[in-house]
Amino acid sequence: MWMFIGVMVLVVMMVVGPVMMIRPTPRQRRLTQLRGTALPAGMSVRMARLKEGVGSHDSYSIAVYSLPVPEELKKTIKDTPRFNWRLLRRNMSHELHLAHYWDWEDRAKAPLEISNSLLDWLTTLPKSVRAVEMTGYGPSLYWTEQALAVELTEGSLDRDGNASIASEIKYLHNKLTELLNIVVATHRKVESI
């Protein structure tokens, strides 16, 4: 009799075990919520590979949150070198880096005017933002999707005391909008000279 019960428990465990393993983890559920909330906010999310460091062939997968360029700015931005660059956050400070930690990727750098305009803005980004990119399609932040330390107001915390998904997406959207505004304003200033 006990043998039969033992075998039945083992059979149930073999059936239920794999089902339990395919359930999403809390982190996977959070990432699904983050990415799902970004789309209605007007952002796109994709996965990309980012190099570990200068000259490195090693890379890792990271989420890229992008904001499309508004229709009225597309003509201004299209095919302009000022709008085709990427800054990577380095792990160590260096005097040659922009704002101590940001280094240009292998491809073209932004003009000096834009670099200078970005100095203060870059220091406001959390460490979980690993790269900043500007293309003719719009600004992008390469984010590890770790919880952001955003300025919180009452109601923006979840029951565990973490920043809510909506407040994190709002923060990213604001940072992308700020980046676009900085680059476009600098471009217009340079063009008017």
Residue-wise DSSP of 54-86: TT---EEEEEEEE-PPPGGGHHHHTT-GGG-EE
Exposure on the CB side of residue 19, measured as CA atoms within 13 A = 5
What is this structure's pTM? Answer: 0.81
Per-residue confidence band for 64, with pLDDT thresholds at 50, 70 and 90 = very high
For residue 56, what are the CA distances in angstroms to 60, 67, 90, 142? 11, 28, 12, 18
Cβ neighbours of 132 (radius 10 Å): 23
Q: How confident is the model at residue 133 (pLDDT cuts 50, 70, 90)?
A: very high
Percentages (nearest 5) of helix, strand, coil residues in the chain? 40, 20, 35
Mean pLDDT of 30-45: 93
What's the pLDDT tens digit per position in 95-128? 777 778 898 887 667 778 888 889 899 999 999 9
* CB-based contact 104:87 (threshold 8 Å): yes
Nearest residue to 165 via CA among 145, 142, 143: 145
- Return d(Cα 191, Cα 171) in angstroms, integer: 30
Whether pLDDT at 80 is above 70: no
